[in-house]
Structure 1
């Protein structure tokens, strides 16, 4: 039997301990702090490592090149680099915590967090998936590709493709992942309950 791995969780909730209650309502959600709160992001990762996480996810669920360009007035290259930086912040936290006797010699994996296309729409559709009825697979692939590429380039051990609410997007993501044949990934779903 393979060993059980503990994943971190509730990043925005833990981050709010360091930045105040200013996360909800911002279009970039907690990924805004990749640009403005490096120390808080690193400290949040450190908290999860100290709590025993074997897998630490990047603060990139809501991150996208287009989102950073629109809401942080960054150019394409700077936006791309900021997504890569999300991996570097986890690496920094691991390095800082490696001196802790509970963490020494522990192989902590970095999971590059990839939220669904709907998270960029800021209307809750990442939970409903209704955007998949009108947004083409090509548009979704073009939106996901640079963020996935940035996470892979930066050295994420695995991609955590999270809370995908539409099978159309999930199928597209599985095809898109073929562009990185050696990259490990998991895909989780957000399922809608039909209460008819």
Structure 2
């Protein structure tokens, strides 16, 4: 069961870096919280709405909830209970929905064409829940990975240890399924979201775990529908977006000597689709410098074309690169690599230049920004797309 995206256009605009916009534009000091952008749901709900509105006014067709780092473990580290975690995560969906309603009202008052705004439930990888965020490296502690992060020596692959990898997939599946259930079991929140975004996934076994978690969710949806009637619980389109910090996938090859290339990753996302392992509605690349996208997309397409018959449909492509700076998990801060000297216009031109060369492999493309991209970047992006 894979629900497909339905858009009126073949190019859709996603929002930009929500957490970094809270920090840069609204001057919120949130980097020390395990919850990062989600802490604003609790303390600055009005600013969360204003941030969503800033991206909508800039031209975003899809806005993402501020739930990227939400999990039971991050809420526990931040001092919140199980019940509070569920309430806060659902509140994030409501804040995005409020922003959408306000924006619709603005369009009506101004006589503007009404845009069909979608809300994406943002879910980061397991690495984003760790005390030293590891979504860019994939150094996960057992049973999620072979070894926790160390300042001396690290690894993110099990090599030939098949049992260890399978245990990791089971643990990661449970992690992602628990978070999905938080929103699914709140009927109001589930009805407000339009799609699900699994973001910045750094490991192929976590891609498999996400697919398995969605399979479990689909089973739950079917069970609820059978007792409550059709239409009560509806499956949502979803995407898996991967990160390539230096143009390579963070996961090492089995011999541990080199990082994977993009074509190595596609199989984990789409191979052998089944009820237990559904394939995503879209594949993505996020929080990666824009200059790497062209070659990465080409590698995606090369592998995807050979498996498209088994997939049974054309997926969408989601591209939302970062602003070019590098995240330091030790200091929990962004290191300026000179990218800020590049204008939003230059960034947007580079991104749209990538999408203009896409093959017919894709049903369409969703373009936006990740960390260190602002409403100004999204405004430039929409202007170029719709010029």
The two structures have a TM-score, normalised by structure 2, of: 0.47
Match of 2:77 among 53, 57, 70: 70
Mapped to 2, the partners of 1:144 and 1:180 lie a distance apart of: 10
Give the equivalent residue in structure 1 for 2:97: 91
Conserved in 1, the CA contact under 8 Å of 2:126 and 2:175? yes
Mapped to 2, the partners of 1:145 and 1:104 lie a distance apart of: 38
Q: Which protein is richer in helix relative to its size?
A: 1
Report the more deviating stretch, 133-142 or 30-39: 133-142
Mapped to 1, the partners of 2:85 and 2:113 lie a distance apart of: 33
TM-fit CA distance, 1:12:
1.5
Distance 1:111 1:139, change over 3 A: same
TM-fit CA distance, 1:2:
4.4
TM-fit CA distance, 1:84:
1.1
Instruction: String of CA shifts for 1:41-82, please: whole Å, max 9, x gaps.
Output: 1110011111111000000101112221331x3221221121
TM-fit CA distance, 1:40:
0.8
TM-fit CA distance, 1:121:
0.7
TM-fit CA distance, 1:24:
2.0
TM-fit CA distance, 1:104:
5.6
SS in 2 for 1:136: helix
SS in 2 for 1:107: coil
Does 1:8 find its partner at 2:15?
yes
Aligned residues: 193
Rg larger for:
2
Give the equivalent residue in structure 2 for 1:119: 128
Mapped to 2, the partners of 1:4 and 1:179 lie a distance apart of: 31
Give the equivalent residue in structure 2 for 1:45: 52
Mapped to 2, the partners of 1:96 and 1:31 lie a distance apart of: 21
TM-fit CA distance, 1:146:
2.5
Does 1:188 find its partner at 2:241?
yes
TM-fit CA distance, 1:23:
2.1
Instruction: String of CA shifts for 1:99-133, please: whole Å, max 9, x gaps.
Output: 22276622101000000000111324211112153
Distance 1:168 1:49, change over 3 A: same
Mapped to 2, the partners of 1:44 and 1:176 lie a distance apart of: 30
| Unaligned residue ranges in structure 1 (runs of 5+) | none
Conserved in 2, the CA contact under 8 Å of 1:55 and 1:111? yes
SS in 1 for 2:32: coil
Conserved in 2, the CA contact under 8 Å of 1:28 and 1:63? yes
Does 1:133 find its partner at 2:186?
no
RMSD: 2.1
TM-fit CA distance, 1:31:
1.1
Mapped to 1, the partners of 2:97 and 2:20 lie a distance apart of: 21
Does 1:175 find its partner at 2:175?
no
Report the more deviating stretch, 98-107 or 51-60: 98-107
Match of 1:147 among 157, 160, 179: 179
Report the more deviating stretch, 46-55 or 121-130: 121-130
